[in-house]
Amino acid sequence: MRLVRFGEPGAEKPGLIDADHVLRDLSGEIDDIAGDHLSRAGLDRIRALDPKSLPKADPSRRLGPCVGRVGNFIAVGLNYADHAAETGAELPSEPVLFNKATSSIVGPHDDVIIPLGSTKLDWEVEIAIVIGETAHNVSEAEALDHVAGFCLCNDVSERAWQKERGGQWMKGKSAPTFGPLGPWLVTTDAIEDVQAIDLWLDVSGRRMQTGSTSTMIFPVRTLVSYISQFIALQPGDVITTGTPAGVGAGMKPPRWLQPGDIIALGGTHLGEQRLTVKAHTA
């Protein structure tokens, strides 16, 4: 299934994309793509519905982030060897974890706002994991049983704040609009092999990133199991899993996002995002 949330920010309704690519309104059945609705039982209830029995929704409506009420927004750094190399970092022996603020989450076609004081704004195409069942100390073998599905994420990053201001990476990863998710949440049964997803990203028509989840250092199963050693992951938690090479910081000279840039990104089965970069106006 492809699950979506549509409508104005803060008032999104749950929906799904049917086999004919029609947007259907789920709000008569569930209150949101969130919480227990992401569990195996919750998804089975949605799966049992006849999509054609659901009202059609206006396809021009804004798509919001594809999961609601996110409790934890966890990110994995340096999870592709080519990206580690372009940034001059050593390959990690264990997953590198940091947090993104949930207040950074926006929809797949919303604007990316350059925050006040930003000088080195960058992009990162990633596949994100959405947790469906509580996961604490789970094995790799059972890890995917706790996953509701996957979505596209742009891990927007302010490199000066991330690398030059001391402390942890969170401060360069968490400004408003730094976490576009969607367009849709693809349930695990709709993806044959999550380690065979092609990813790409363009900036203003120029291809910057081309990669595949097949080259992850730590695959999805490993990440869920590993993170669950330290955190009791809850339904709706999001784990964004790292980016392949091609970020602005790795170019010579570096290429930073500017007002008017258009960021387009996509992944196999995951749909596409299109985001306009704008200056902060407040």
In tens, the pLDDT along 91-102 reads 899 999 999 999
Task: Name the pTM for this structure.
Answer: 0.97
d(CA 199, CA 222): 20
> Residue 253: is the preceding peptide bond cis (ω within 30°)?
yes
CB distance 255 to 248 below 8 Å: yes
d(CA 237, CA 158): 23
CB distance 242 to 169 below 8 Å: no
**Token digits of residue 142:** 């059972």
Write out residues in the chain with pLDDT < 50, as ranges: none
d(CA 136, CA 231): 7
pLDDT at position 82 is: 83
d(CA 104, CA 117): 17
pLDDT at position 244 is: 96
pLDDT at position 39 is: 98
CB distance 148 to 130 below 8 Å: yes
Residue 36 CB contacts under 8 Å (≥ 6 apart), including other chains: 42, 235
d(CA 13, CA 32): 6
Q: How far is CA 128 from CA 116, 150, 218, 254, in A?
A: 27, 6, 13, 26
Count CB-CB contacts under 10 A for residue 234.
18
Q: Which residue has the tokens 């790795």?
A: 250
Residue 233 DSSP SS3:
strand
Residue 98 CB contacts under 8 Å (≥ 6 apart), including other chains: 74, 75, 77, 168, 169, 170, 173
Correct CATH for 67-279 of 3.90.550.10, 3.90.850.10, 3.30.70.270, 3.40.50.850: 3.90.850.10
